[in-house]
Amino acid sequence: MTRHPHYRLGSSIALLMLACTLTPLARAAELVVNGGFEQNAGAGSLVFTGWQAMSQPGSQGGFYAQQGTQSALTPVTVAAPPQGTFAAMSDQPGPGSHALYQDIAIPAGKSATLSAQVYLQSAAPPSAAPATLDFLTVPNQQARIDIMDPAAAWNDVGAGVLANVFQWPGGAAASGYQSVQLDVTPYAGRTIRLRLAEVDNRQSLFFGVDAISVISSDVTPPTSVGAVRQGNTVTLTFPPVASTPTETVTGYQASCVPVGGGDTVTATGTQSPIAVSGLVAGTSYTCTVAAQTNVGTGPSSPPISVPGSTTAAAAAVPAWSFASTLLASLLMLGCLFLGSRGRAVRLLRR
């Protein structure tokens, strides 16, 4: 039986729609809900969309929606949120133990990188970090970010901790927001719990967290990033990131976050190097590079420190960069040689 063209066309469309339904689209995805803490119950509140808040019975204070340069509960000057209007920051009128957590499913077969901005200001140096989050254990003055087993208790610091992302190193001076990062690719195919925790029973402890992100992608983050700063510009060098069958690398985005808080400076390019301009004189930065693909932005490279000096070079140039420079030099010498030889031949023919 001869089929009408309309039937053949309809069958083709149906098959195409079925294939799209059965085959999930590749996508570079943000896995954290409300990682910037912008969705909350208002300034000074203890409620954040996507996050579960926990406190030890008898605790005072907690993680508040903080904005501007003043803590949410007590009149203390702190660093402003590095991204958006709000950050989550601990504040308390007395001793306590508090946590915020969120469960995150890491897709199987994907690379994934966790990044965050953290701030610490304590009225009681140095830190005191016994192996417990019980504020009744004296002294106990600590702040940390952990990757947890979701089955573990919210205040576990033992076998339930799969990896530590950040641990307060001690000291009282406010040093501004700092970048932290962890490769969470080893947890692909399972659900993990991201926990922010703080304990205070000495004096006030202001633990701020903002810009939490977990990006999953088929592409890997750039490695061996080098940085050279000249004035208000830093030049970042890095090896290329390979495309995958589901994601094609189309370019790169470089981001530099000022140490101590402030506006993030970004730049894009199709290949290394990328120059990021607009840095503030005398301010140090942490910079990262991420591949841009046809479906989104991949995970960021490990952060590299760029000093505040207007002329200093930050990191050693990777070996692949020397190889590229050598190859370019040899090609240039070859061109000069061939050009000189051609001129000599023309002179002899005259």
Q: How is residue 205 written in tokens?
A: 């402890």
Q: Tens-digit pLDDT profile for the chain (350 aa)?
A: 554 544 344 444 443 343 333 334 445 689 999 999 999 999 999 999 999 999 999 999 999 999 999 999 998 999 999 999 999 999 999 999 999 999 999 999 888 999 999 999 999 888 999 999 999 999 999 999 999 999 999 999 999 999 999 999 888 777 788 888 899 999 999 999 999 999 999 999 999 999 999 999 999 899 999 999 999 999 999 999 999 998 999 999 999 988 876 778 999 999 999 999 999 999 999 999 999 999 888 888 999 999 997 544 444 434 434 444 344 344 434 433 444 444 443 434 44
Measured between alpha carbons, how far is 92 from 325 in angstroms, rounded to an integer?
56
- End-to-end Cα spacing for the chain: 81
For residues 223 and 67, give the distance between their C-alpha atoms in angstroms, rounded to a whole number.
Answer: 34
Q: Name every residue whose Cβ is closer than 8 Å to that of residue 159 and which is 6 or more positions away in sequence.
A: 149, 152
Residue 95 is predicted with a pLDDT of 98
pTM of the model: 0.72
pLDDT for the residue 257: 86
Whole-number pLDDT of residue 27: 53
Nearest to 199 by CA among 96, 269, 301, 294: 96
For residues 261 and 87, is the Cβ–Cβ distance under 8 A? no
Please tell me the predicted confidence (pLDDT) of residue 310: 58
